[in-house]
């Protein structure tokens, strides 16, 4: 499903390399897998997630998404693939305060250039009901708990029927009990819907929810 071959990411100043964020990464993530990318701050795990999620390009190496080499795609093609292939979940929730729960969840459907095969409102209602948030449809984010906001963020990530969920420290702003509830939800989505999940974390107990733990340090997979 996802294949990285000798991927490196460097940052330069006046043509001189000042920092290697990733060094010759070889990685395959299979369809239906639940994996965690674990490492300390500055290890390169977020950079790796950004490349997998098509938010950034490597300095060298090749990235294949479903056997398509990303370097062969135009910026518009990459943008369309990202919008339809991957759903993102972040530590900060990134909900828009002035939009209701329903409006936040359906927001990605507004920006797609492809014809939708579903009714956004009906799909949002279905997901929110499954996540125990049906009664919060018309609430605003500031009326929700942290755990509820993160479930709304996961619902938004799910709205476009992605093949992959990328979660960057999704429990970082939650207490331990709520964090484990969020991880249980992600594991259930993986098991019940065969949804591929890649999780970035520095916490071993959170990483343990995944079926495979990928450890990274100083830009290299251990």
Return d(Cα 83, Cα 62) in angstroms, integer.
20
Return d(Cα 3, Cα 66) in angstroms, integer.
8
Considering the chain, what percentage of its residues have pLDDT values greater than 90?
Answer: 82
Q: What tokens does 210 get?
A: 């995944």
| pLDDT for the residue numbered 218 | 94
| pLDDT for the residue numbered 81 | 87
Which domains does the chain show, CATH number per domain? Answer: 34-58+72-221 (3.40.50.300)
User: What mean pLDDT comes out for the span 32-43?
Assistant: 94
| pLDDT for the residue numbered 49 | 93
Could you give the 3-state DSSP secondary structure of residue 32? coil
Q: Which residue has the higher pLDDT, 67 or 164?
A: 164
**Pair 46, 91: CB distance under 8 Å:** no
CA separation, residue 82 to residues 79, 157, 167 (Å):
5, 12, 14
CA-based nearest residue to 109, from 162, 160, 73: 160
Q: pTM for this one?
A: 0.92
What is the DSSP secondary structure assignment for residue 117, as one 8-state letter?
Answer: S
User: What mean pLDDT comes out for the span 142-152?
Assistant: 97
Return d(Cα 203, Cα 205) in angstroms, integer.
6
With DSSP H G I counted as helix, E B as strand and the rest as coil, what are the percentages for the chain, rounded to 5? 40, 30, 35
pLDDT in tens, 72-125: 888 888 888 888 899 999 999 999 999 999 999 999 998 887 788 899 999 999
Rg (CA), the chain: 18
Considering the chain, what percentage of its residues have pLDDT values greater than 70?
Answer: 100
pLDDT in tens, 16-27: 777 889 999 999
């Amino acid at each position: 499903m996802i294949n990285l071959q000798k991927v490196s990411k460097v940052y330069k100043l006046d043509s001189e390399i000042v920092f290697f964020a990733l060094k010759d990464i070889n990685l395959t993530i299979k369809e239906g897998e639940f994996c965690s990318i674990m490492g300390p701050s500055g290890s390169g795990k977020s950079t790796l997630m950004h490349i997998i999620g098509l938010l950034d390009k490597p300095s060298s190496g090749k990235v294949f998404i479903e056997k398509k080499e990303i370097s062969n795609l135009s910026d518009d093609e990459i943008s369309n693939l990202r919008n339809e292939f991957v759903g993102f979940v972040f530590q900060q929730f990134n909900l828009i305060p002035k939009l209701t729960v329903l409006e936040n969840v359906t927001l990605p459907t507004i920006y797609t250039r492809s014809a939708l095969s579903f009714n956004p409102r009906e799909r949002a209602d279905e997901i929110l009901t499954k996540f125990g948030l049906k009664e919060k449809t018309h609430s605003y984010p500031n009326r929700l708990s942290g755990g509820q906001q993160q479930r709304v963020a996961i619902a938004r990530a799910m709205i476009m029927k992605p093949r992959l969920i990328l979660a960057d420290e999704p429990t970082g702003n939650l207490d331990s009990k709520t964090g484990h509830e969020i991880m249980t939800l992600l594991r259930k989505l993986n098991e019940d819907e065969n949804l591929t999940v890649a999780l970035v974390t520095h916490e071993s107990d959170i990483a343990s929810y995944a079926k495979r733990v990928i450890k990274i340090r100083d830009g290299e997979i251990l």
